[in-house]
């Protein structure tokens, strides 16, 4: 199946990045969000991202204009996804919300369109269970920051057809990224391991360790490119908390989110998104 039009649902950190890399690879992109102000923010975010590539000599200013012209912003879901050959949903990490979005996508999309979710941890089969489109519903788990991270997990739900998988692998490769097949259990591969690490650092900070020391230890002693406190700030504390909750529900107690992680989410200390997590951001 040939892909030309990509629709992204949810214009937050991930949706903006997925829109940017899709447009850079020549796709016609529609980015939609329930919040019009979020669409403005996404526009600034994508402009900024492309501007950095110009500064590094990786893009010409003319190319930036043509990439931006390929991204349409629209706060109406029905209009945004009507012509899409492939949709990537990147709304909040909440099962009920995602199920509702996919029921709407079934109504508004072409019957052959691939329906992808960028969920970090929710099983694809569970999202698909309220739809009649399990054969074309698939996990396409991009990593943050999308323009920089090379790997993308692709998750085949119980009903996802092999054709959907093949087309999705082609889409991921066309973005210059490498797909990795992950089995459809809560957290897949990456969140199942990283959420546990990020939950643990919350306990370690409560025990008295400084975030700077934890990060330096893991960068200098374990060779991690980014320490886990910086990583939690980048990902967003709420994303890690929801991931842990999904895994606790499916695998039990050992994935319980630490009470302090929940408290930090309630207090709005999400990280870069809110300007403060373990560290402060402009």
Ligand X SMILES: NC(=O)c1ccc[n+]([C@@H]2O[C@H](COP(=O)([O-])OP(=O)(O)OC[C@H]3O[C@@H](n4cnc5c(N)ncnc54)[C@H](O)[C@@H]3O)[C@@H](O)[C@H]2O)c1
Q: Min. distance of Cβ 64 from ligand X in angstroms?
A: 23
269 binds ligand X (CB under 6 A): no
Residue number, 24 or 31, with CB nearest to ligand X: 31
Distance (Å, rounded) from C-alpha 53 to C-alpha 220?
29
Q: Which residue lies nearest ligand X, judged by its C-beta?
A: 12
Asked if 142 and 18 touch (Cβ cutoff 8 Å), the reply is: yes
| Interface characters, 170-189, with ligand X (x: CB under 6 A) | --------------------
| Interface characters, 209-248, with ligand X (x: CB under 6 A) | --------------------------xx--x---------
Task: Tell me which of 6, 8, 13, 218 binds ligand X, using CB under 6 A.
Answer: 13
Query: For ligand X, which stretch binds (CB under 6 A), given 31-39, 43-51, 105-113, 212-220?
Result: 31-39
Distance (Å, rounded) from C-alpha 48 to C-alpha 50?
6
9 binds ligand X (CB under 6 A): yes
DSSP 8-state code for residue 160: -
Q: Min. distance of Cβ 144 from ligand X in angstroms?
A: 3
Number of residues located near ligand X, criterion CB under 6 A: 29
92 binds ligand X (CB under 6 A): yes
Coil, strand or helix: which one is 123?
A: coil
Q: Min. distance of Cβ 18 from ligand X in angstroms?
A: 9
What Å distances lie between residue 6 and 3, 31, 52, 129, 154, CA to CA? 8, 9, 24, 24, 17
Buried b (16+ CB within 10 A) or exposed e, 152-190: bbbbbbebbbeebbebbbebbeebebebeebebbbbbbb
Q: Min. distance of Cβ 204 from ligand X in angstroms?
A: 21
Distance (Å, rounded) from C-alpha 180 to C-alpha 119?
15
Distance (Å, rounded) from C-alpha 186 to C-alpha 242?
11
Instruction: Kindly identify the residues of this chain, within the stretch 108-167, that bind ligand X according to CB under 6 A.
Output: 118-120, 141-144
10 binds ligand X (CB under 6 A): yes
Residue number, 181 or 220, with CB nearest to ligand X: 181
11 binds ligand X (CB under 6 A): yes
Asked if 243 and 121 touch (Cβ cutoff 8 Å), the reply is: yes
State the angle between helix axes of 36-55 and 13-24 in degrees (0 to 180), rounded to the nearest 10: 50
Burial of 151 (0-12, 13-18, 19+ CB in 10 A): middle
Q: Min. distance of Cβ 222 from ligand X in angstroms?
A: 20
Instruction: Kindly identify the residues of this chain, within the stretch 38-77, that bind ligand X according to CB under 6 A.
Output: 38
Distance (Å, rounded) from C-alpha 67 to C-alpha 176?
16
Q: Contact residues for ligand X (CB under 6 A)?
A: 9-15, 32-35, 38, 90-93, 97, 101, 118-120, 141-144, 235-236, 239, 273
């Amino acid at each position: 199946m040939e892909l030309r039009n990509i629709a992204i649902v949810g214009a937050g950190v991930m949706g903006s990045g997925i829109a940017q890399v899709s447009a850079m690879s020549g796709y016609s992109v529609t980015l939609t969000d329930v919040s019009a102000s979020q669409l403005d923010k996404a526009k600034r975010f994508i402009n900024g991202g492309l501007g950095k590539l110009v500064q590094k000599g990786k893009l010409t200013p003319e190319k930036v204009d043509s990439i931006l012209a390929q991204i349409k912003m629209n706060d109406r879901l029905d209009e945004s996804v009507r012509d899409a050959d492939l949709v990537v949903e990147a709304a909040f990490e909440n099962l009920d919300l995602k199920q509702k979005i996919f029921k709407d996508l079934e109504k508004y999309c072409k019957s052959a369109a691939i329906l992808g979710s960028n969920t970090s941890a929710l099983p694809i089969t569970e999202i698909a269970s309220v739809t009649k489109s399990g054969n074309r519903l698939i996990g396409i788990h991009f990593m943050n920051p999308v323009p920089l991270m090379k790997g993308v997990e692709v998750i085949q739900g119980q009903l996802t057809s092999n054709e959907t998988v093949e087309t999705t692998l082609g889409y991921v490769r066309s973005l210059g990224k490498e797909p990795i097949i992950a089995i459809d259990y809560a957290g897949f591969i990456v969140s199942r391991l990283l959420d546990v690490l990020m939950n643990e650092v919350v306990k370690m900070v409560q025990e008295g360790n400084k975030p700077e020391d934890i990060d330096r230890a893991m960068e200098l002693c374990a060779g991690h490119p980014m320490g886990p406190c910086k990583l939690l700030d980048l990902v967003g504390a709420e994303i890690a908390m929801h991931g842990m909750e999904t895994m606790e529900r499916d695998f039990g107690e050992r994935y319980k989110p630490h009470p302090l992680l929940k408290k930090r989410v309630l207090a709005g200390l999400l990280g870069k998104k809110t300007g403060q997590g373990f560290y402060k951001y402009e």
